[in-house]
Amino acid sequence: MSIDYERVREIRRRAHENDRYSGCSQSVLLALQEGLGIGGLESFKAATALSGGVARRGETCGALIGGLMALGLVCGRERMEETEKYVRAMELADRICGEFQLRLEREFSFKDPLRSTLCSEIQRKIYGRSFDLRKKAERDAFLEAGGHGDMGCLRVCGIAAEVAAEALLRLIEQ
């Protein structure tokens, strides 16, 4: 079983480019939806307020959330009673989160390990500080620091999409 890395690269590229319009969760989810033929408009819309660490609050990285939403579309349970599907999805989600952290560390050359998947911590590691994206002056400072540049959150979106695409393609091929 081999992964189609050209497909993965295209999904990463699309997620990266999508985030130029803001909305890291939707950027990643849309790239995965289009690249893997999953989900639809309703799931895409559901990701709207999850960017910037959930409603711009700096919580869990929105790009990662978009990838985890795609995981749910592929192997999520359809009924609460499906606990085996739930457990399996949670195991895969944990692996995606861990790989996402490792790739961020590697690609951004973080000196110290990334201890969480919090948007605010990722911002500190990339930009030297975090931003309260709910405030216009802070959003402006984020953009000035490169927040929506190729070496900022656009890259984070690409990494999240790549990690999720690899995991989902392995899952689909099983």
DSSP state of 58: S
| Contact indicator for 45, 20 with CB cutoff of 8 Å | no
Residue spans per domain, the chain: 5-173
Q: What's the per-residue H, E or C state across 101-141?
A: HHHHHHHHCCCCCCCCCEHHHHHHHHHCCCCCCCCHHHHHH
- Looking up tokens 């319009």 gives 21
pLDDT at 2: 80
Q: CA-CA distance, 119 to 55, in Å (whole number)?
A: 11
Helix, strand or coil, per DSSP, at residue 40:
coil
8's CB contacts (< 8 A; 6+ apart) are: 162, 165, 166, 169
Q: Report residue 135 CA to chain centroid gap.
A: 23
pLDDT of the chain along its 174 residues, tens only? 588 999 999 999 999 999 999 999 999 999 999 999 999 999 999 999 999 999 999 999 999 999 999 999 999 999 999 999 999 999 999 999 999 999 999 999 999 999 999 999 999 999 999 999 999 999 999 999 999 999 999 999 999 999 999 999 999 988
pLDDT at 1: 59
pLDDT at 174: 82
pTM: 0.96
